Amino acid sequence: MAATGAAGDPVRIGVLSVQGAFAEHVSLLRSLGADPIEVRLPQHLAGVRGLVLPGGESTAMRRLIARWELREPLLALLRSGIPVLGTCAGMILLAREIEGGDEPVLPLLDVTVRRNAFGRQLESFETDLAVPALGDAPVHAVFIRAPVIARTGPDVEILARLPDDRIVAVRQGPILATAFHPELAGEPRFHRILLALAAEIPPDAGSGPR
């Protein structure tokens, strides 16, 4: 079933594509009937009704967002109420606080994140997680140099924890964030929530720069 808005048009979702695992998000969104747009410059935000911030290297992403003058357009878009899904490094970009004193980038999610919480690349792993908000079937989660959430604010809903109680998925209104990569496992349910929220956004509400 296609992801369409009230007028029957495919829902346009921007995928930040300056660095990282953006291609997998684009492919998954397209398979769900959305209209994914790779975002590298402010003008690429025109007409988007939702946004994905992918995994990657958060420091490199921070620098490239600054280089291409994307920070303020992204903030304006997200502050308008556009839904967003941040995965791994994307969760770090959304966090209000980053342990170690790094300056927040798009600080709209009331959490504190701890970068590289599982160590180096060799400590990457996969596991099945219970995420009751997504139904009974577990989520197969891929963790690659992943962060964890060390603190949540009062308006943040915890969606998933590891067996050791560390928080790895949250929601705050239209903001979804995971420490893992659902797109690498072909897990579509987080993206379906994003698309359902985006379909409720009027086509001109998230028009962005033109």
- How many CA atoms does the CB half-sphere of 113 hold within 13 Å? 33
Catalytic residue among 25, 44, 88, 187: 88
Q: Is 183 a catalytic residue?
A: yes
Contact 111, 147 (CB under 8 A): no
Contact 167, 161 (CB under 8 A): yes
User: What is the rounded distance in angstroms from the CA atom of residue 2 to the CA atom of residue 50?
Assistant: 15
Amino acid letter for position 108:
L
Residue 198: CB partners within 8 Å, gap ≥ 6?
3, 5, 11, 13, 34, 49, 50, 82, 83
User: What is the rounded distance in angstroms from the CA atom of residue 95 to the CA atom of residue 33?
Assistant: 29
Q: Is 140 a catalytic residue?
A: no
Catalytic residue among 25, 183, 187, 191: 183
Catalytic residue among 25, 44, 181, 191: 181
Active site residues: 88, 181, 183
